[in-house]
Structure 1
């Protein structure tokens, strides 16, 4: 009897622990076409909608259908503005999830599979040939890593190849693929929804060398314009036509310059499976961090098609 009660208690505690919601461990949520990270799991979106409706300051009446759309995005933007989360673009990333966790701590939410749990279900690949055989490189966002090879990278034995046709970056160590990840290269006349900008520049093909490495470089072209502390414009500063305003450039993390004309590799949350940048090569944050740490000034970079 005692053993039965003990087992029952353990089961209840285990269930409670796994039923507890944790926005901080959810997948990022946003417009799927704009961001590689945004899985938009319906249960996680539904919990987001429930939490937003429960906020006593916002008085929202969202339909809790688990579908990401215009109304949910606008509600997130309202939430971000109220809690001073900037930029308030409706992207449910780390900053927004931290505040949601605090604001909705007393809201009872259905249990969902978290991003961490989803990662556990991902298939592991024995080698790059196995990865390439089972993954559609042009469409998939999956990343291949050979940690043993990566540990041997010293900058002198690395080489980057960027395939425009696949929208993929490969990091070679001693001539072997140590990392293969999605990237976004330059586009010709492509409309960028998040910045309301037309991208109009291809990433140049050829062989380059990394000219500089800066952990957090400020863009001289893309950013926000502020007047009296209020954001009045977001996008290409060259196209701003309003009254005089203060320009604040976007931070390009893990910047690796390729050309004197401003083309380089850098981290971005806007990773697509087709060309969509203004010439630079965008990389997922974790991928950019790895590449940045494994190369040095002078590392060879081949851009092919």
Structure 2
């Protein structure tokens, strides 16, 4: 009898412990699920993530709990990360975010996990295979050759941005070491995420990286505050209101191409169509890889 009580108590405590560390014991969740470097986005983990975000009264999100990772789930994660002041606000559900999720969801009773047949992720050993099996215009998939990337030293690298495919390629010793989605400039296009009309195409031609700044702020695009109140966002040159404090938009891993302010940088808003104000937006992880692989003077060709 005593043994049974001890066993039941142990199981109960174990269950409580697992409930408090549900997310910490699961894999990361993120975008670009078709590549071997990214996340599997397990159905149960994503569904419970959506439930936890919906139940958090500190943020206002209303996600469909379908267990599918998508743009709305990613944006809700970014809202969550920003609200709690986490060090990463890129929508990637990593260790820090999972720890915070466990803290705010310790009283949530999640549904029983469903048995879902997972699709085996494709692994491409060569760029030729990747190109053959990937719709480069539509896919968010990223190709990386880690062996080639390990040999990058700035002197043996070059970049190519293809506007028609919305893709950036990093070459090391003349071979494709990385191929990733990017977002280039657009004319007269309203960007839904920011409500800003983009009106500058990315210039075509051959350029060289003029400067590298790991944590740059835009001197043109950003937000205007009066006290703590946001009164304007967009091109500061068009602001006509009362005196306000300007906070430039983040341009992490900035690589300048022109004196007119065109460059490559990290962004949360990488789409499969042109949508920037001339710059080349890159996914955060991709921007870090490129930033450390190139140097001032690295050639960059922009083609269509």
Could you say which TM-score interval applies, normalised by the shorter chain? 0.7 to 0.9
CA distance in 2, matches of 1:60, 1:184: 28
After TM superposition, the structure 1 = structure 2 runs for residues 257-268 of structure 1, keeping only pairs within 5 Å, are 257-268=256-267
Which deviates more from structure 2 when the two are superposed, residues 174-183 or residues 99-108?
A: 99-108
After TM superposition, the structure 1 = structure 2 runs for residues 16-55 of structure 1, keeping only pairs within 5 Å, are 21-22=22-23, 25=27, 27-28=29-30, 46-52=47-53, 54-55=55-56
SS of residue in 2 equivalent to 1:130: helix
Are the equivalent residues in 2 in contact too, given 1:20–1:111 (CA < 8 A)?
A: no
1:241 paired to 2:243: no
After TM superposition, the structure 1 = structure 2 runs for residues 142-157 of structure 1, keeping only pairs within 5 Å, are 142-157=141-156
Change over 3 Å in CA distance of 1:76–1:160 after alignment to 2: closer
CA distance in 1, matches of 2:55, 2:65: 15
Q: Which residue in the other structure is 2:175 paired with?
A: 176
Q: Which residue in the other structure is 1:283 paired with?
A: 282
Are the equivalent residues in 1 in contact too, given 2:29–2:46 (CA < 8 A)?
A: no
What TM-score comes out, normalization by structure 1 length?
0.75
CA shift, 1:22, in A, is 1.1
CA distance in 2, matches of 1:20, 1:121: 27
Unaligned stretches of 5+ residues in structure 2: 1-9, 32-37
Are the equivalent residues in 1 in contact too, given 2:20–2:102 (CA < 8 A)?
A: no
Change over 3 Å in CA distance of 1:301–1:102 after alignment to 2: same
1:106 paired to 2:107: yes
Are the equivalent residues in 2 in contact too, given 1:20–1:109 (CA < 8 A)?
A: no
What TM-score comes out, normalization by structure 2 length?
0.75
Aligned positions, number? 276
Change over 3 Å in CA distance of 1:247–1:111 after alignment to 2: farther
Which deviates more from structure 2 when the two are superposed, residues 198-207 or residues 97-106?
A: 97-106
Q: Which residue in the other structure is 1:6 paired with?
A: none
CA shift, 1:224, in A, is 1.4
Unaligned stretches of 5+ residues in structure 1: 1-8, 30-36
CA distance in 2, matches of 1:256, 1:72: 29
Are the equivalent residues in 2 in contact too, given 1:159–1:300 (CA < 8 A)?
A: yes
Q: After superposition, what is the alpha-carbon deviation per residue over 1:173-226, rounded to whole angstroms, capped at 9, x for unaligned?
A: 111111111111111111111110111111100000000000011101121111
CA shift, 1:27, in A, is 3.0
Are the equivalent residues in 2 in contact too, given 1:21–1:111 (CA < 8 A)?
A: no
1:222 paired to 2:221: yes
Change over 3 Å in CA distance of 1:162–1:106 after alignment to 2: same
SS of residue in 2 equivalent to 1:273: coil
SS of residue in 1 equivalent to 2:101: helix
CA distance in 1, matches of 2:44, 2:176: 37
Are the equivalent residues in 1 in contact too, given 2:184–2:202 (CA < 8 A)?
A: yes
1:136 paired to 2:135: yes
